[in-house]
Structure 1
Amino acid sequence: MPTPRIPLSVLDLVPRSQGMTPATAIEESVALAREADRLGYRRLWMAEHHGSEAFMSSATSLLLGHVAHATERIRLGSGGVMLPNHSPLMVAEYYGTLATIHGDRFDLGLGRAPGTDPMTAAALSRSTGHLPDFASEVADLQGYLGEPRAGARVRALPGEGTKVPLWMLGSSTGGAQVAAALGLPFSFASHFAPDQLREALSLYRDRFRSNVATAQVDRPTTMAGVNVLVAPTQEEADYLFTTAQLMAIRIRSGQPAPLDPPVESLASVVPTELLPLANAHQSVRMVGTAETVVAQLEKFAATHELDELIVTTYTFDPELRRRSYRMLAEAWGLSGTGSSVDVLADTA
């Protein structure tokens, strides 16, 4: 038998296309979750963003509860909750409530970034996000979700005893340091910040500690994000991917808007000086036919010795996004329950 491929997961930011209402964007993400559940993807994570015209994922816990009612098997989680935006106790209560209602289906990915612009970040009343403060808040959060503590006067109810699994997220070496020190699995945001991928993974593996009270895995456990778009032909995939490139240009140039439709040529709609922004944070991307994308994903995973891949796809037409995930699932060999998605079940 061939060696099973590592698990594939889905990262969803609840994208909204031009002319689409926020309600429709959420409905389309629920439809994607149902499809990912049926296809055998390991997890579906939603990422916290605020004040965005393109992403309707500001209230991740509410969205995940909504998606949980529409799915059966797939693990759901935050990719992530930007912890400095929140009180650790409230995060424990929100995700502890989800686990109380739906059982052991949730992951709690944690990050330090604001997930928004500076003015919106200020309105969120963020804490500092400095590494020592952040690590302390992560430990507090884990404590609230753990077994009842004798004499504890502050408790997450519900939440206490649910032991919702934590993942540390990062786009630099900072998150890797915290993940290693606390013995947590680590997911690197190479889909938008690939520059320090090698350095962060190396640091995480070198400094990983499994003998601390906060440890949740007994060995370094890694995931990385990849931009993916699969279509029947390379030409169609490249054409559809211009939506993601236009999104990147808008983000980097401060021109927020919902997703644009694809174009035949970026140069025909984008000023020359802005064209380099199209690929500024999407160098980790696999775009093409299913065969091509699978080969590229396998090489990427092997090069970085990853335990799991989490892929994100943007298309103007939500049905073509679901088609991409369907084609990838088939080519990767996912087959719902009992597929290669179970290889790392013990890290969930």
Structure 2
Amino acid sequence: MTASRVPLSVLDLVPVASGTDTATALDQSVEMVGLADSLGYHRYWYAEHHNVITFASSATSLLIGRAAEHSTRIRLGSGGVMLPNHSPLMVAEYYGTLAEMYGDRIDLGLGRAPGTDPTTAAALRRGAAATDTFIQDVVDLHRYLGPDDGPEAEVQAVPGRGTQVPLWMLGSSLDGAAVAAYLGLPYAFASHFAPQLRHEALALYRERFTTESGIAEIKRPYAMAGVNVLVAPTDDEAHHLFTTAQQMVAGIYTGRRGPLRPPVRDLETVIGPQAARFADDFQQVRAVGSPGTVVAELEALVADLEADELIITTYTYDPAHRARSFTLLAEAWGLDGTP
């Protein structure tokens, strides 16, 4: 693999297509995990979202457990757990249990956003001040997953202690970058939906990175960037299929979110010019086209962001097109699915 061919990973929000149901989306996600595993993708992460009928990814630990039963090699994790919604002890117990069951294949990505709207966030939140304790929560979580504190520790994560599940910091702003740098953690930037600050955030992370926090898990900065990807045999077909993802984003703009819709021929007529411009800006970090086109665009993105790894998100109305996209990209990028 060349220097520009960094590891590729997958981010899954378990999208639900119109005309189907949640159970179908969950089954399709399991099929995608098995495919990604066989093709040589590095990680398969689930992102916590709540009260959004487009996605079925609210319970990341359950999704990871099921995925682990249908894969053998690929790393599985959260991209991420929204820590303000959970107590660090409970997260340590959930992910420690996964590590005890499936070994060193589990990642724990952490975010400080609620992953939902303000009303739902209030229903989820552990307490009014939860977001103010984020850094301490991460420190506590690291301790719960670390070596056994001995009998003097009044509260321990059982299971959890000693598993040392690797922590990642997620972010879509400068705040997450600063926290990742301060704590000495690998950093995943959500450039697939928050592209505006991608250069500033990654530069800040690298400039401020330190291993002095006491919980640093890496010796040097490691940055992963999110990117919207859709690969098809031709550029024209890929751009046509990508209109499903663009309609999904238009739903964010209009406040009328719903299941994934079939691709359309005239996107601007369907969603309107303003929503079309919003979607284009929202998804500006993307690689859409034939295998050759997408590889060139991803290589340019790696060079531009100096990314150590890319994590792709792919939305198609027909899951067969998503599977084909994964396969074409893996072949073009030179992934090795050999166990």
TM-score scaled by length of structure 1? 0.94
**Preserved CA contact (<8 Å) 2:84 2:130:** no
The alpha carbon displacement at 1:4 in A equals: 7.1
| 5+ residue gaps, structure 2 | none
- Give yes or no for contact 1:190–1:225 (8 Å, CA) kept in 2: yes
Offset of 1:112 from its aligned partner?
Answer: 0.9
The 5-angstrom pairing of residues 8-87 of structure 1 reads 8-87=8-87
Query: 1:253: Cα distance to partner?
Result: 1.6
Cα distance in structure 2, aligned partners of 1:123 and 1:130: 13
The offset of 1:252, in angstroms, is 2.3
Pair 1:139-2:139 in alignment: yes
Q: Is it true that 1:288 corresponds to 2:281 in the alignment?
A: no
Change (3 A) 1:2 1:144: closer
Report the Cα offset of residue 114 of structure 1.
1.2
**CA distance in 2 between partners of 1:250 and 1:305 (Å):** 32
Q: Which amino acid aligns with 1:174?
A: D
Moved more, 202-211 or 102-111: 202-211
What is the match of residue 121 of structure 2?
A: 121
CA-CA distance at 1:148 after TM superposition? 1.1
Task: Report the Cα distance in structure 2 between the residues aligned to 1:298 and 1:52, rounded to whole angstroms.
Answer: 33
Q: In the alignment, which residue of structure 2 is the partner of 1:234?
A: 235
Q: Are the structure 2 counterparts of residues 127 and 192 from structure 1 closer, same or farther at C-alpha, using a change threshold of 3 Å?
A: farther
Which moved further from structure 2: 249-258 or 155-164? 249-258
Displacement, 1:132? 5.7
2:271 match: secondary structure: coil
| 1:144 alignment partner AA | Y
Q: Give 1:79 shift.
A: 0.2
How far apart, in 1, do the equivalents of 2:137 and 2:336 lie? 39
Contact 1:53 1:257 in 2 (8 A): yes
Deviations 1:223-246 (A, max 9, x none): 000000000011100100000000
Partners of 1:227 and 1:2 in 2: CA distance: 22
CA offset at residue 335 of structure 1?
A: 1.6
Kindly indicate whether the alpha-carbon contact (under 8 Å) linking 1:131 and 1:174 is maintained by their aligned counterparts in 2.
no
Contact 2:4–2:302 (Cα < 8 Å) also in 1: no
Report the Cα offset of residue 185 of structure 1: 0.3
Q: State the shift of 1:113 in Å.
A: 1.2
| CA–CA separation in structure 1 for the residues paired with 2:304 and 2:127 | 36
Q: Name the structure 1 match of 2:216.
A: 215
Structure 1, unmatched stretches of 5+, are 339-348
Name the CA shift for 1:255/1:25 in 2 (closer, same or farther; >3 Å): same
Secondary structure, aligned partner of 1:119: helix
Alpha-carbon displacement from aligned partner over 1:25-63 (angstroms, at most 9, x marks no partner): 000000000000000000000000001111100000001
AA of the residue aligned to 1:290: P
Which residue type is aligned with residue 238 of structure 1?
H
Equivalence for 1:178? 179
1:176-216 superposed Cα distances (whole Å, 9 cap, x missing partner): 11111110000000000011111111111111112331000
Amino acid at match of 2:250: I
Partner of 2:105: 105
Closer/same/farther in 2, CA of residues 164 and 116 from structure 1, 3 Å limit: same
Cα distance, 1:117 vs structure 2: 1.1
Per-residue Cα deviation, 1:2-35 (whole angstroms, up to 9, x for no partner)? 5572100000000110011100000000000000
Q: Counterpart in 1 of 2:248?
A: 247
Q: Which moves more between the two structures, 265-274 or 310-319?
A: 265-274
SS of match in other structure, 2:229: strand
- 8 Å CA contact 1:14–1:25 kept in 2: the answer is yes
Per-residue deviation at 1:316? Answer: 0.2
Deviation (angstroms), 1:298: 0.7
- SS, match of residue 219 in structure 1: coil
Count of aligned pairs between the two proteins: 338
Cα displacement (A) at 1:273:
3.7
Deviation at 1:128, TM superposition (A): 5.8
Q: Secondary structure at the match of 2:155?
A: coil
Q: How many Å separate the matches in 2 of 1:65 and 1:311? A: 21
Whole-Å separation in 2 of the counterparts to 1:132 and 1:206: 25
- CA displacement, residues 51-99 of structure 1 (integer Å, 9 cap, x when unaligned): 1111100000001101100000000000000000100100000000000
SS in 2 for 1:48: coil
Match of 2:198 in 1: 197
RMSD: 1.5
